[in-house]
Structure 1
Amino acid sequence: MSELPSRLSVVTLGARDLPRLRRFYCGLGWKEISSSDDDWAGFLLGGVLLALYPVDELAAEAAAGAPAPTGWSGVALACNVDSRQQVDAAFAAALAAGATAIAEPMDRSWGGRSAYIADPEGNRLEIAWASSARFDDRGALTAFGS
């Protein structure tokens, strides 16, 4: 048996209105991959692909027979930025693109600064700065923690 590699390659959001969700992420300035359309969309983000896929089709593959979720899923995506000040600027840009404010930018007990938004379908995205986060030239996280 082979080992499961310790990496995260794709995060898929099940979309109820994929064209609307696609427009939102494009509105953030995120670049789509060339095969994106209103049936499936992808955004390459620093080495991880954010995929948008119809929720019914995703459920058929990943949750066959499971009850439909209600309310918040308990999952939040995070986009770490390079400075404390960028949290506020990114939060304002996300709101301008159509996000809903969940938690205003604030300094956190863990020593960083963050804010939370929701995309048009309620998926949570944290915009965060942590002094220990390090990124490569692609924006991929290379180190986190002390």
Structure 2
Amino acid sequence: MGGNRAQLAYVIVYVPDVDKAAEFYSKAFGLEIRPQNKTRSWVEMETGATTLAFTPVKQHETDLIGGVPSSGSGHNNIEINLDFPDVDAAYQHAVSQGATPVAEPEDKTWAQKVSYVKDIYGNRVRLGSFVAMPS
């Protein structure tokens, strides 16, 4: 596409309560909450180059573009991947803050440690170690 290449700007997760989701991600994963707008219809988390954002499941704007189908169960095809220097500590901390354990930290054959939890709405969160890129 030449000079018109896409760049990932946001990962948006539709949740019943944006404030509750943001508070959980702040406590469980140490993400900083960015200042939110006055309508409480959007919360952004500081994650580095790409923003993690929460918006209500029934966000009015999404209705204008055909709506976002949701079963409300939190079982969807999204996986949030967060990297940590110490996956064991991150996993234990997340679980102590209310994350549901799915898979304890495990050393993978590709030289990475990985674990999985679910957030308070049932979304899958992968906690992994940083992968060094070949130079």
Q: TM-score range by the shorter chain?
A: 0.7 to 0.9
Q: 1:40 aligns with which of 32, 36, 42?
A: 42
Q: Which residue in 1 is equivalent to 2:11? A: 11
Gaps of 5+ in 2: none
Give the deviation of 1:98 after TM superposition. Answer: 1.3
Counterpart code for 1:121: Y
Separation (CA, whole Å) in 1 of partners of 2:21 and 2:67 = 26
Within a 5 Å distance, the mapping from 1:1-146 to structure 2 comes to 4-28=4-28, 29-35=30-36, 38-57=40-59, 59-60=62-63, 64=66, 67-69=69-71, 72-82=75-85, 86-132=86-132, 144=133
Counterpart code for 1:33: R
Give the deviation of 1:11 after TM superposition. Answer: 0.6
> Identity of aligned pairs, percent?
27
Contact 1:36–1:42 (8 Å) recurs in 2: no
Number of residues paired by the alignment?
131
Counterpart code for 2:15: A
TM-score computed with the length of structure 1 as normaliser: 0.74
Separation (CA, whole Å) in 2 of partners of 1:127 and 1:104 = 10
| Residue aligned with 1:56, SS | coil
Give the deviation of 1:61 after TM superposition. Answer: 5.4
Counterpart code for 2:20: R
| Residue aligned with 1:125, SS | strand
Q: Deviations over 1:22-71 (max 9, x none)?
A: 22012133211122564321112112111100012275256x26753466
Give every structure 1 segment of 4 or more consecutive aligned residues whose post-TM-superposition deviation is greater than 4 Å.
1-4
Give the deviation of 1:7 after TM superposition. Answer: 2.0
State the superposition RMSD in angstroms.
2.7
Contact 1:111–1:130 (8 Å) recurs in 2: no
Separation (CA, whole Å) in 2 of partners of 1:71 and 1:145 = 36
